A and B are shown apart, each in its own frame.
Chain A
Amino acid sequence: MQFCDECGSLMHAQGDEMVCSSCGHGVPKEADLSEQYVSTDAQDEGDVIETSEEANFEGKPTDDDVSCDECGNTTAWYTIKQTGSADEPPTRFFKCTECKSVRRAYD
C-alpha cells in the first residue's frame, strides 16, 4: 500500500506509474516494492474426506469389563455425561463395538 507524499491518500497503479487517486500526484513504480502490495490466500487443499463406520468412535476409550445385552460382546466405547443432579454420579453410556447398541449405567 503506497501512500501519496503530498496528500496522504492511497495510490494505485496506472501503467508504469503509481498515481494518487485524489491529488493526481504520480511516482514511478519501484519493482521490489510491488510484491508488498499483493496478499495471497492459498488454495484450500482439502480432498473428499473418506471415513469408515468406526471413525466416529475411533480412538475413544474402550472398556473391557462390560457385556452387551444384545450381542454379548465384551468391549464397548464409553462416554460420560452428567445427566443427573450435581450431587449424583455421572451417567455412563456404553456403545458396543460390535452391534453399536447403547446402554446406560448410573449408580
Chain B
Amino acid sequence: MTDASDDVRALVEDTDLPKRLREKVYEAVDDRGATLDEVEDIVSAVESRYRDTRVDPLDPVGTVSAQSIGEPGTQMSIPADERVLVRRDGETDAVEIGPFVDSLMESAETRAFDDHEIALAPDGIEVPSLGADERVRWKALEEVSRHETPDELLRFELESGRTIRATKAHSFVTRRDNDVVPVAGEELSEGDWLPVVGDLPVESGSDTVDLREHLPASDYWYTSALTDGGAATFPAGDEQVENKRAALEAGRIDGGAVYPRGGTVGLPERLPLDEETGFFIGAWLAEGNATDGYVSVSNTDPAFQERVRSFAERFDLSMNEYASDGEYGDSYDIRVNGTVLADFLRTACLDDGEKVVPGFAFGADESFVAGLLAGYFGGDGNIGRSSIRASSTSERLTAGVALLLARVNVYATLGETDGSRTLRIPAKFVPRFAARVGMVGERGDALAALADDVDADGPDATDQIPNFGDALRNVASAAEIPTRQVNSASKRQRIGRNRLAGLVADAEAAGVDSSALDALRTAVEGDVVWDRIDSVETVSSDYEYVYDFSVAGLETFTTAEGVVTHNTMNTFHYAGVAEIDVTQGLPRLIELVDARKTPDTPMMTVYLDEEHASDRERAHEVVWNIESTQILALGDVSTNVADMLVRIDLNEETLRERWPTYDDVDEIVAEIADTIESNLGVATSRPEPTVVEFGPDQPSYRELLQLVEELRDIVFKGIEDITRVVIRKEELDDGTEEFVLYTEGSAFGDVLEIDGVDPSRTTCNNIHEIHRELGIEAAREALINETKNTLEEQGLDNVNVRHLMLVADIMTNRGEIESIGRHGISGSKESVLARAAFEVTVNHLLDAAIHGEVDALDGVTENVIVGKPIKLGTGDVDLRMGSRRASPESADD
C-alpha cells in the first residue's frame, strides 16, 4: 500500500471502487504527485469510467452460456447489458440481451415459472452455439427468459482480457475429463477454463446490407419506393414525390438508391458487402471521422490511400485531399463527400460516440470481413516482433474486431494500456491472418515478412487444450510414443493445440483407434479456444432484470465477446418427468400383504456390470435394449388418405443411436420393415432408403386407420412391458459413480438376460416375479425389503425388522407366496370356527355342517370362541394329576 495522505485516502475510500482500482489510484496519485484537487478529479473520473464499463461491457467474447435442463427456478442468467450475438433471418447483430429479450416478451405470450418469466422465441432467430463435439454452429433460439436481478453477480475476467458477468447459479461450460460439461458459475474459480469462440462459421454470409435498416425512410429518399407502387413513407409531401419521380425517369437520380433530402449524391439501397467496401469501413473505423456531409480517412501510406480512392470512385462520390505537416509528422486526409455515406457510418458504426464494429459485419460474407480487417489493421495495426497489435480508445471496437477475427479463425487477446484497449494477435495466428486477410502498403510487406518468420507450429501459450484426463497417456502408450513427452502435459492437464495435433497425427499414423484418440481429435479440431479465468469477483448490476436464452442441443449461446456460456434455463417441461412414480404408503403396504400378482406401479432397478456402468454410451446401449421402442420414437408417421398409404419417415440419426451395433442403416430399416410386415400382415415398400410405406389391400378408409392404430402398438426393440427407462448416476460406497437404470414396467426374467445387466444386484418391486426367477427365499427377502422401505419412506423407521420378518416368513412358509387374507393363509386354516370368525361366516359354517367337519380346537381363535385356554404358554401342557393306577380298590377305602 502506497502511503497517501489521509485526505486522499478519505476521498478514495468514499467511492465504491474495488480494491484493485483503489490501489491503482493511490499509485497514480503518488506517481504524479497530485494536489488534492487533482486527486478529486482523478477519483471522480476513475469512478465514472469504472461505472461506465461496469454497466456497458459489451466485450464481444463468445462465452457460450450453457443451459441446464430440469433445474428449478434457481437464478442463472446474465445481466441486461451483456451483448450477445444473434442472427435473425440472415441479419446478424450484437445486441444487448436485455432490450432484445424485453421486446420479444412484449410481443409474445409469457409464462411465469417460479419467478422467471419465459416466452417462446419466434422462428428464425439463431445464435452461435457450441456443441458437444466442440464445434460452433448456428442453432435456433427456442425460448427467452428473465427474472429479477439478484444482489450479487459474478464477473469473470479471462486471461485473454475478455470478461463476462452472470448470476452465481448461471452455468457455463468447461472442460473436464476430456468432456465439455456444464458447471455453475459459483463453482468456477481462477485457473478454470472457459471456451471462447475461435472459429465462427457462417456458411453463406450476407453479401449486401439494406440501408433501410439504418437510415429511416422518413428522412431519406428511397428510389425503389417511388416506382414499386407500394405504400411508402417519404421525407416530403406528394409534390416533392412527383418531382423525384420525374428526376428518376430523366435519369438524374438512380433507381434502387438512397438519397438525402435535397441531394443528388447517394448510395445503392443495398450496399454490397465485398472486399472493397469492407476495406473502406475498416479503414474508417481505424482512422476515420464523419460529420455532416462527408467522411474522412487519414493515412500516409499510398497503397492505403488508393484503396480509399477506389471505393469513392466506385460509388461516384467526390473527394478532396489534404496533405499537411503537423507537429506529429506528416498526415494525409482524404475526404469523401456524401451525406448518405456519412450518416450511414455514423449510424451503423458509432454508438454513444464510440466506434463499434457494425452488427451486420458479423454475419457478412467472408470477403467483406477480410476486407474490413485488412482496412482496420492497415490503419491502426502494428506489426510487432512476434505479433500484430492494434489499439483503440473504444473498448467495443477492439472487442468487436476480436470477434470478427474469429470469422477468419484467428484468435486474439485483449488487454489495456494507458487508457486504451489493445488487441494482440499472437504469433501462431499471424500466418493465417496474412493468408486470409493481409494488409496493404508498407505494413503489408512487414506482415508478409513476419508471417514467413514466425513458426506457426511452435509452442503456443495462448491456445491450450485443458483437462483431457488420462486420454493423452492412453493414446501415447497405445501409439508407443515415449511417455516422457506427454508426462508434463498430462500432469498439468494442459497442452498446446499444435503439440496435441502433432501427437494425434503420430498416433493415427501408428494405427491407434480408440475413443480416447477420438476425444483428443475433437479437442484439436474444435472451434473454441480455451481461456483461463484470471479473476472472479462479485459485482452488482443496476438493471432490474437478468436474462437468459434457451437453445436447442447442448444449450449454449455466445456473448458478443465470443465467450461461450451455458444457457441455464429451467426447461421445466422436462422437470418432474424425470422421476418414476411408485405407489407408496398404505396402499403399497396393502399390495404387499395381499400378495397382489401385479403391483400398481411395477418398477425395476437395473444395475449394470462394470463395463457398462461407467460409460455413458454403453449404458445407453443397455437402455435401448430394454426400453420398448415404438414407431413414433423412430420417425414421423404420415397417413395419406388419398393414396391409401401409411408412410413412415425414419430418422437416420435415431436409428443409428438405438441400434449401435449395426453399421448399415439399410439393415435396420429392413428389419423394421420385416417387423411391420409380420405384425400387420401387409406388404411394405421402401421408396427411399429411410422410408417405409404400406397400405391396406383394399382401399378402405377403415382398414387404413386400423393399420395405423396397430402400427402404434408395435414394439420394434426392447421389452414390451418396459414403457420408460431413466438413468441415474449414483455414488457407490467407495466414492466411484455408476449409472443405474430405473424402469417403469417390469419384466424381470427378460431383463436379467440382457447383455450388460448385472444380474446379481438387479431387482424389481414385483414379489411374484422375484419368486418366479429367484425362488422363495429371495421372495421372502424382497418382501421384507419392500415393506421396510415403504415404512421408512413414511418416516416410520422404528418398526423393528423382526416383525416384518415374521410376516414374510408366514407368507412364504409353504413355498409359495400366500396372501394374509381369506384367499391365503387365513382362509386355509383347518379350523372352521377360525375361518368363520374371520370373514364370510355363514358360508364356512354351512359347508362345515354339510360335510360334517370336526374342529380340533388347536388354534387361538377357536379356543377363545369356546372359552378354553389357548394352547400356548399355560395351555401348552396337558396336566395330569396323580401317577400310576392304584390297586382296583374303591376310592372310599
Q: Which B residues are CB-close (under 8 A) to A93?
A: 794-795
Q: Tell me the bound Cα distance from A103 to B578 in angstroms.
A: 25
What is the minimal beta-carbon distance from B199 to any residue of chain A, in angstroms? 28
- Verify if B797 is at the interface (C-beta below 8 Å from A): yes
Q: Which positions 32-90 of chain A face chain B at CB distance < 8 Å?
A: 34, 37-44, 46, 48-53, 55-56, 58-59
- Is A51 a contact of B699 with CB atoms below 8 Å? no
Q: Tell me the bound Cα distance from A18 to B640 in angstroms.
A: 13
What is the minimal beta-carbon distance from A41 to any residue of chain B, in angstroms? 5
- Verify if B761 is at the interface (C-beta below 8 Å from A): no
- Is A18 a contact of B642 with CB atoms below 8 Å? yes
Q: Which B residues are CB-close (under 8 A) to A97?
A: none
- Is B638 a contact of A39 with CB atoms below 8 Å? yes
- Comparing B261-269, B606-614, B629-637, the segment that makes contact with chain A is B629-637
Q: Tell me the bound Cα distance from A81 to B574 in angstroms.
A: 25
Cβ contact of B654, chosen from A34, A39, A43, cutoff 8 A = A43
Q: Which positions 648-678 of chain B face chain A at CB distance < 8 Å?
A: 649, 651, 654
Chain B minimum-CB-distance residue to A18: B642
- Is A12 a contact of B794 with CB atoms below 8 Å? no
- What total of chain A residues lie within 8 Å of the partner, measured CB to CB? 36
- Verify if B620 is at the interface (C-beta below 8 Å from A): yes
Q: Tell me the bound Cα distance from A34 to B640 in angstroms.
A: 9
Residues A49 and B636 in contact in the complex (CB < 8 Å), given A13-B642, A43-B651, A55-B70: no
- Verify if B408 is at the interface (C-beta below 8 Å from A): no
- Is B642 a contact of A49 with CB atoms below 8 Å? no
Cβ contact of A38, chosen from B635, B638, B793, B794, cutoff 8 A = B638
What is the minimal beta-carbon distance from A29 to any residue of chain B, in angstroms? 8
- Verify if B726 is at the interface (C-beta below 8 Å from A): yes
Q: Tell me the bound Cα distance from A49 to B729 in angstroms.
A: 11
- Is A44 a contact of B794 with CB atoms below 8 Å? no
Q: Tell me the bound Cα distance from A55 to B729 in angstroms.
A: 11
Q: Tell me the bound Cα distance from A35 to B574 in angstroms.
A: 33
Q: Which B residues are CB-close (under 8 A) to A34?
A: 642
Q: Which of B574, B649, B699, B724 has the most CB of A within 10 A?
A: B699
Residues A51 and B633 in contact in the complex (CB < 8 Å), given A12-B642, A43-B654: no
Q: Which B residues are CB-close (under 8 A) to A21?
A: 699-700
- Is B795 a contact of A104 with CB atoms below 8 Å? yes
- Verify if B577 is at the interface (C-beta below 8 Å from A): yes
Q: Which B residues are CB-close (under 8 A) to A49?
A: 574, 577-578, 724, 726-727
What is the minimal beta-carbon distance from B742 to any residue of chain A, in angstroms? 9
- Is B727 a contact of A50 with CB atoms below 8 Å? yes
Q: Tell me the bound Cα distance from A18 to B623 in angstroms.
A: 46
Q: Which B residues are CB-close (under 8 A) to A52?
A: 728-729
Inter-chain residue pair count (beta carbon < 8 A): 106
Q: Which B residues are CB-close (under 8 A) to A40?
A: 636-639
Q: Tell me the bound Cα distance from A102 to B797 in angstroms.
A: 8
Q: Tell me the bound Cα distance from A53 to B727 in angstroms.
A: 10
Over the window 755-794 of chain B, the binary record of Cβ atoms lying under 8 Å from chain A Cβ atoms (1 yes, 0 no) is 0000000000000000000000000000000000000111
Q: Tell me the bound Cα distance from A72 to B620 in angstroms.
A: 38
Q: Tell me the bound Cα distance from A87 to B649 in angstroms.
A: 59
Q: Which positions 700-738 of chain B face chain A at CB distance < 8 Å?
A: 700-701, 724-731
Cβ contact of B797, chosen from A29, A59, A101, cutoff 8 A = A101
Q: Which of A12, A38, A53 has the most CB of B within 10 A?
A: A12
Q: Which A residues are CB-close (under 8 A) to B71?
A: 58-59
Cβ contact of B642, chosen from A2, A51, A59, cutoff 8 A = A2
- Is B728 a contact of A53 with CB atoms below 8 Å? yes
What is the minimal beta-carbon distance from A85 to any residue of chain B, in angstroms? 15
- Verify if B849 is at the interface (C-beta below 8 Å from A): no
Q: Which A residues are CB-close (under 8 A) to B213?
A: none
- Is B795 a contact of A43 with CB atoms below 8 Å? no
Residues of B within 8 A of A (CB): 70-73, 574-575, 577-579, 620, 623, 632-644, 649, 651, 654, 699-701, 724-731, 792-797
Residues of A within 8 A of B (CB): 1-2, 10-14, 18, 21, 29, 34, 37-44, 46, 48-53, 55-56, 58-59, 93-94, 101-104
The 18 listed contacts between A and B (C-beta, < 8 Å) are: A21-B699, A37-B640, A37-B641, A38-B642, A39-B638, A41-B632, A42-B636, A46-B633, A50-B726, A50-B727, A52-B728, A53-B728, A55-B70, A55-B578, A59-B575, A93-B794, A93-B795, A102-B793
In the A-B complex, the 10 residue pairs with the smallest Cβ-Cβ separation, listed nearest first, are: A59-B72, A104-B795, A37-B642, A12-B699, A51-B578, A40-B638, A102-B795, A44-B632, A13-B643, A37-B641
